[in-house]
Amino acid sequence: MSNTHDRDVSPEPDHGLTRREALAVGAAAALGATARLSEAQDGVAAGHRPVAVASKNGLEAVGRAVRRMEAGLSPVEAAVEGVGIVEADPDDVTVGYGGLPNSEGVVQLDACCMDGPTMRAGAVGALEGFKHPAAVALEVMRRTTRVLLVGEGAARFARSLGFPSENLLTERSRKIWLYWKGQMSSIDDWMTTPEQVQDPDVQWFIKKFGAIRPTGTINLCAVNADGVLGGTTTTSGLFFKIPGRVGDSPLIGAGLYVDGEVGAAGSTGRGESVIQVAGSHTVVEFIRAGKSPREACLGALDRLVRATRMPYLLDTDGRPTFDVKFYAVNPRGESGAAAIWAGAKYAWCRGGTEPELRDCASLYPTPPPWRKDS
Ligand code: ASP
C-alpha cells in the first residue's frame, strides 16, 4: 500500500526573515537540498532565546510564555501560563472552558506538562469541572510522586488544592452538542429542528468546522535563555467523544515529550494515531539522531502515516482522512512544525519579537479536501 506518495517538504514562504536569514535560506535552496533548506529556516532562531512554539490557536499564548520566561519563570511554568489564555477563552471550543463536550454533553478535559531538566511530568485525563487542566497537571508534577490522575480522582485532587470548580459547558457548546445529536442518525430518538440549524451558534460551528467531526487542542513547547526546555498540551479532546475517552494530549510520549538535553515536542490532531507511534517521543528521538526540529516533525509524521493501515482512515489514494501536527524546539532555540497536509500554521515567538503565525512543513503538497480551518 502506498499511502506516502506525493510527499512535499514544503519551504516556508513568508517568515518575516531578516535579509541575512533570507539569504541563508536562498543559499540553501540554491544548493537544491531540501533538508539543508529546512535547517536554514529552523536555524533562524538559533542563539535567540527564549522561544515558544504552539499550535495555531496559541498566538497569544506563545507571547505570554516568552514574557513569563523573560520574567524568570521556568519554561514548563511559562508554558502552562501561556495556554491558560486559551483554556479560559469560551470562543476556543477545543480547549478548556467552552470546550465541546463528550457524547453525553459533559466537558472532559485532558492535559499534561513536562519539565526538561528533571524529566518530571504531570497529567490529568477526563477531568470534569476545572477549566485549567494544564495548571492541575503542573500540580500533579510538583506535589506528587505520580504522573497521571484521571476522572473523579483528578477532580478531587484539583478540588483539594483549591482550584475553583465550575460548569464548563457554555450555551454555545451546549447548542452545538444538541445539534450534533440531532444530526447523528435517522434511527435514534433525536431530530434537528429548522430553528436549531438557523441558530447563530450552530451556524458559526458549521461555517468554522464543516460537516466533518473536528478536533482541536493547544500544545506549547518552550525554551528559555539558558536552553532549558518545558512544554504542555491541553484539550477538550475529540468532539462528542465516548465518555472517558482519553486521547494523546495527556499522555507523556504521545501528546508531549520533553528531554532536557535533546528537545521538546507536542502534537495536535487525531490522538489515537499519535498514541500508536508515541508521536512526540518519536519527534524527540529524531532530534537526538541529528535532525532539525522541523525535519524531526516530518519524520514522525512519515512514521505515523506508514502506521495508518485501517481502510476507514484512508482515502481512495491511500492517504489519511485526518490531520496530525507536531511542534518542536531544541535547546538552541531552533524550532519547527509539520502537518500531514499542507496549509497548516503554527504560532511562534522569541524574546524581543511579536508572536507570529508560520507555515507548517507538510508531507503532502496540498491541503486536504475537507479542511475548513487549519
Ligand atoms: N489530539 C486531540 C485528541 O485526540 C485532539 C486534537 O488535537 O485535535 O484528543
- Ligand 1 pocket check for 268: Cβ under 6 Å: yes
How far is ligand 1, taken at its centre, from the CA of residue 233, in Å? Answer: 10
Q: Tell me, using a 6 A CB cutoff, whether residue 293 lines ligand 1.
A: no
Tell me which of 102, 112, 215, 322 to substitute to probe ligand 1's pocket, judged by most ligand atoms within 8 Å of the beta carbon: 215
Q: Which amino acid is at 120?
A: R
Closest protein CA for atom 9 of ligand 1: 237
Q: How far is the CA of 261 from the centre of ligand 1 (A)?
A: 27
Closest-lying ligand 1 atom to the alpha carbon of residue 270? 4
Give the whole-number percent of the chain exceeding pLDDT 90: 78
217 as an active site residue: the answer is: yes
Q: Residue 320 carries which DSSP code?
A: B
Determine the pLDDT at residue 371: 73
Q: Which tens digits make up the pLDDT trace of 236-278?
A: 999 999 999 999 999 999 999 999 999 999 999 999 999 999 9
For residue 277, the CA-to-ligand 1 centroid distance in Å is 15
C-alpha span between 366 and 180 (Å, rounded):
29
Query: What pLDDT band is residue 21 in, cutting at 50, 70 and 90?
Result: very low
DSSP letter (8 states) at residue 252: B
SS3 281: helix
CA-nearest residue, atom 1 of ligand 1: 271
Q: Whole-model pTM?
A: 0.87
Q: State which ligand 1 atom lies nearest to the alpha carbon of 272.
A: 4
Q: Is the pLDDT of residue 29 over 50?
A: no
How far, in Å, from the CA of 236 to the mean position of ligand 1? 8
For the cut 50, the answer to whether the pLDDT of residue 142 exceeds it is yes
pLDDT in tens, 72-127: 999 999 999 999 999 999 999 999 999 999 999 999 999 999 999 999 999 999 99
Taking the C-alpha atoms of residue 265 and residue 207, their distance in angstroms, rounded to an integer, is 31
- Counting from 1 in the atom list of ligand 1, the atom nearest the Cα of 271 is 4
pLDDT confidence tier of residue 208, bands split at 50, 70 and 90: confident
Highest mean pLDDT, choosing among 23-27, 35-39, 178-182: 178-182
Residue ranges and CATH numbers for the domains of the chain are 7-93+215-364 (3.60.20.30)
Q: Return the pLDDT at 14.
A: 28
**Of residues 217, 235, 282, 308, which has the active-site annotation?**
217
Model confidence at 35, pLDDT cuts 50, 70, 90, reads: very low
Q: Measured in angstroms, how far is the CA atom of residue 216 from the centroid of ligand 1?
A: 5
Q: Is the CB of 232 inside a 6 Å radius of any atom of ligand 1?
A: no
Query: Is 97 within 8 Å of 118 (Cβ atoms)?
Result: no
User: Which ligand 1 atom lies nearest to the CA of residue 246?
Assistant: 9
Biggest distance spanned by C-alpha atoms of the chain: 64
At 335 the three-state DSSP class reads strand
CA angle 132–138–139, rounded 5-degree value: 95
